[in-house]
Amino acid sequence: MRLLILFFLFALIRVSAQDTLIIQFAGDIMCHEAQIEAARDPETGAYDFSETFEEVSPLFSRADAVIANLETTLAGPPYQGYPRFSSPDELVAACREAGIGHLVTANNHACDKGKKGILRTIGVLELLDIDHTGTFRDTADRRRHNLMILQKGNLRTGILNYTYGTNGLPVPSPTRVNLIDTVQMLEDLASAQDDSLDMLIVFLHWGEQYQPLPNARQREIARFLFTHGVDMIIGSHPHVLQPMEFDPEGKEGKGTLIVNSLGNFISNQRSRGRDGGALVQVRLVKTPETLRIDSVGYYLTWVRKYMDKGKWHFRILPCRKYEENGFDGLDPYSAEKMRLFLQDARHLLEMHNRNFPEIR
């Protein structure tokens, strides 16, 4: 009897030694002028973006960490949308309040407002306690903060972030923006692998805008990264969805995955395919004997833009919730637009995804 009790105690200890980390990845957080005006209180002049994230916030609560691409600067007023973004600080405050605690900032709009835009964006994110990587005050700051760490228990994951370019704008000295440069990336990967990581993720701003399939350059960079030890690649920039692949046997059973493009998480882009995206969820498990990507999947999200009492509103909606309720609560136009987005997204992803299901 005593041996049986000891066996069960030993089994409980082994189970409790398991560490699980659930990460969600969201796509492009953009802020066009229509969104800025929608968030502005005409009486006080204050900004409030909280309603934008209100309906997807419950999905975030299912994760230990939520990471998104901040495709704007926080350069202060005057605020501006495309082509050189500067958004109110309240945008990222709403992200933080909703549950997005990590942002990547290396993208083609990182230099839209020059040195001030880069420095002030970093300062605001630090003030709001939002972890970030991709842009830096200077070389010393990059050395300290290039590798963003997610840790739960003994499970330690690192994230690096790079962009294909900055729309031709120079990176102002002494600031740094991580560019897709294989020589620099190779140095960063080697340094990251010296940091006792269990998993290494690279978040890339790459590909061709509005194209549903990855191009040859994306495939070339992906091969390079996987060859040099990367476990996961997450993509943004095309503003539409691109396929996702999960290889559970990659890295000798540890697993590897690639999400070529998450699409738009929030923006004022309303063209077909650009009005939504995917929230990807990855579950990592570590035991004393094993380490693996345990499960993967995605939620489809769609941006509703509607007029109420003479004012525009923007809301990110979890598509499955509305689909299961017969699109109750949506006007006929919005319901039809969401149906079209779902039809197109599922046609693309069900045809091209590999081992990467929609979470139902």
**Closest CA relative to residue 135, chosen from 151, 158, 111, 113:** 111
Local structure of residue 24 (DSSP, 8 states): E
Residue 360: per-residue pLDDT: 87
The yes-or-no verdict on residue 168 having pLDDT over 50 is: yes
CB 325 within 8 A of CB 265: no
Tokens matching residue 326:
């017969």
Q: What is the mean pLDDT of residues 199-219?
A: 98
* Amino acid at site 83: P
Lowest pLDDT segment from 10-24, 148-162, 220-234, 253-267: 10-24
The yes-or-no verdict on residue 84 having pLDDT over 60 is: yes
d(CA 71, CA 44): 27
CB 21 within 8 A of CB 66: no
The yes-or-no verdict on residue 2 having pLDDT over 80 is: no
φ, ψ (nearest 5 deg) of residue 277: -170, -160
Supply the mean pLDDT for the chain: 95
Tokens matching residue 292:
């693996």
Residue 17: per-residue pLDDT: 82
What domains sit in the chain, N to C, each tagged with a CATH number? 18-352 (3.60.21.10)
Cβ neighbours for 295, distance < 8 A, ≥ 6 positions apart = 282, 283
The yes-or-no verdict on residue 88 having pLDDT over 70 is: yes
The yes-or-no verdict on residue 173 having pLDDT over 80 is: yes
Q: pLDDT digits over 95-114, tens only?
A: 999 999 999 999 999 999 99
Burial per residue of 110-140, b for 16 or more beta-carbon CB atoms within 10 angstroms, e otherwise? bbbbbeebbbbbbebbeebebbbbbbbbeee
